[in-house]
Structure 1
Amino acid sequence: MESNKTTHLLLFVLTFLTLTYSDIFLNPEVPQTLENYKLYFFANWPYSVSLLFILLAHEMGHYLPARYYRVSASLPYFIPLPFGPIGTMGAVIKIKDQIPNKKVLFDIGVGGPAASLFFSLLAWFVGISLSKVVEMPQDFDKSGYLIFGDSLFTYLSSQWILGPIDFETMEIHAHPLAKAGWVGLLITAINLLPFGQLDGGHVIYSMFGESYRKWIHILFGMFLILALVHFTWLIWGFLVYYIIKVEHPFIKDALNGIGKTRFMFGVFMLVSFLIIFVPKPIILGSEYDNPSLLDDIIRLIVKTVGISE
């Protein structure tokens, strides 16, 4: 049965609104006036439009290969989130048919993150080039602010384009395009987690086949260590284990495998995941200088075994 196009369009429009107005919806500190809504619209529409395009590109990266292989798939369902700093939980499509083999699974699975990676990088580079570095006052209180964390990529690229930046005394006033690129990279990284029916799960299962079941739970255990760095990953660990699942459902092999080119592209995407992954995605300013639980554990071990720092 065909999905209702009105539902897709309505969710798309609602997601545009929550992206544009996430800072004002349900925020008692901001007066709910028409003038404020106008100001937020003109300030945030570059973020909303560019992130919607990134999300659409991601889902088309799944949808178009599915259509090519005659695998039935729905149009994208965008997911609005009317609070929080991001304004969306991304978008999804429904694959309605059994995927015939691992080569098809790879192409459908990798297309989404490949597309969103490309356009997120584009938005980030343009946006960070338009951003400004400002000096923070010595008595500046960060406690009331949310701080977007850095991946290896965003840290090095911002230092390269805007630096040198001392984040103890400086901050970046990010252009909305940079914020869209940052969120796009975060969503891409989460989708590339190599478990179950996430995109990364499709990719890594297609690459390594049934043998991956021997070590995927070990990899999941290593992933849970990230919960000691930021509680977000404990939530994702719960979702992966109970809902998304650690292992991928069985898909039969392609007649000639996925081929060397696909395998190397899969390696590229998995390496990209490591570079764009954000250990602490969003933190409160009051927690910025606090050590993580992992830091405390390492210090305790060092102290216990008597290793000098």
Structure 2
Amino acid sequence: MFFENWPYSTSLLFILLAHEMGHYLPARYYGVRATLPYFIPLPVGPIGTMGAVIQIKEPIPDKKILFDIGVGGPAASLFLSVIAWLVGISLSKVMEIPPGFDRSGFLFFGDSLFTYLTTQWIHGPIDFSTMDIQAHPLAKAGWVGLLITAVNLLPFGQLDGGHVIYSMFGEGYRKWIHRLFVLFLIFTLIHFTWLLWGFIIYFVVKVEHPFIRDSISGIGKFRFYFGLSMLVTFLIIFVPKPIILGSELNDSSLLTDIFRLISDNIRLDL
């Protein structure tokens, strides 16, 4: 098992290290004290880690520095995760699922728009009702790296996405950030994972970012458009249903059931 899966562990640790160095190095460049990364193992479950963190030991001087420290992590992990995924998925194998095969005892990793389209591009066309991918360990590491990057890019509080969006839009963002959080909660109707994250964001991470003063020169057009591209990337790599039990593969989500109920009532009224 070790020799089969060491590419997963090694590449994922490298992705996590790159993410944290993407925060640490800009912090050191601007003279902001920060710790080296802490890696958080998770000895149970299909992923094996809860990621890594660094601790900023003093207030960040202004929004331009906040942007550079905040965006560096997801930019680094996104770059390496995409490479790991593309190489890994090209080394993966397409398997036919035997008729009547019981998938209820297995776990399946969900797809983002990016992983679905690249899988179809490299191996397609694939009908996932009759076929599946035997993922190479490098592809698994890329998938986890993309998931961690997407979670960090959620645009709330002191998540990386929260740093980025607050730096881009300034204090005025407080007028609409709670509405954006309510829209995010719609994903709880798709998968229970996002309900847990909703609690974490609201009670721990917080919806709004703590006050940081503006930079004298602002953040500039390049940073603004780079931040915008990272937020758009979040939509492409976001996984609505991250990990799915085999017994739930054919189950509809609560959101789908609600839409079906509404459409049935509309047809009845007509």
TM-score, structure 2 as length reference: 0.99
- In structure 2, runs of 5+ residues without a counterpart are none
The residue number in structure 2 matching 1:186 is: 147
Residue number among 260, 263, 267 corresponding to 1:302 in the alignment: 263
Q: Are 2:141 and 1:171 equivalent residues in the alignment?
A: no
Query: Which secondary structure state, in structure 1, belongs to the residue aligned with residue 223 of structure 2?
Result: helix
The residue number in structure 2 matching 1:6 is: none
Query: Which secondary structure state, in structure 2, belongs to the residue aligned with residue 171 of structure 1?
Result: strand
The residue number in structure 2 matching 1:283 is: 244
Query: Which secondary structure state, in structure 2, belongs to the residue aligned with residue 224 of structure 1?
Result: helix
Residue number among 44, 50, 65 corresponding to 2:5 in the alignment: 44
The residue number in structure 1 matching 2:111 is: 150
Query: Which secondary structure state, in structure 1, belongs to the residue aligned with residue 103 of structure 2?
Result: coil
Q: Which runs of 4+ in 1 moved over 2 A?
A: none
Name the amino acid aligned to 1:76.
P
The residue number in structure 1 matching 2:195 is: 234
Residue number among 226, 229, 232 corresponding to 1:268 in the alignment: 229
What is the deviation of 1:307? 6.9
Query: Which secondary structure state, in structure 2, belongs to the residue aligned with residue 272 of structure 1?
Result: helix
Task: Give distance in 2, aligned partners of 1:248 and 1:188.
Answer: 19
Residue number among 23, 31, 38 corresponding to 1:70 in the alignment: 31
The residue number in structure 1 matching 2:57 is: 96
Q: Aligned pairs, how many?
A: 269
Name the amino acid aligned to 1:241.
Y
Query: Which secondary structure state, in structure 2, belongs to the residue aligned with residue 291 of structure 1?
Result: coil
What is the deviation of 1:83? 0.3
Task: Give distance in 2, aligned partners of 1:277 and 1:177.
Answer: 19
Query: Which secondary structure state, in structure 2, belongs to the residue aligned with residue 306 of structure 1?
Result: helix
CA RMSD, 1 decimal: 0.8
Q: Are 2:212 and 1:245 equivalent residues in the alignment?
A: no
| CA deviation string 1:53-95 (max 9, x = no partner) | 0000000000000000000000000000010000001000000
Identity across the alignment (%): 76
Task: Give distance in 2, aligned partners of 1:132 and 1:163.
Answer: 12
TM-score, structure 1 as length reference: 0.86
- In structure 1, runs of 5+ residues without a counterpart are 1-39
Alignment of 1:89-168 (within 5 A): 89-168=50-129
Name the amino acid aligned to 1:49.
T
Query: Which secondary structure state, in structure 2, belongs to the residue aligned with residue 89 of structure 1?
Result: strand
The residue number in structure 2 matching 1:215 is: 176
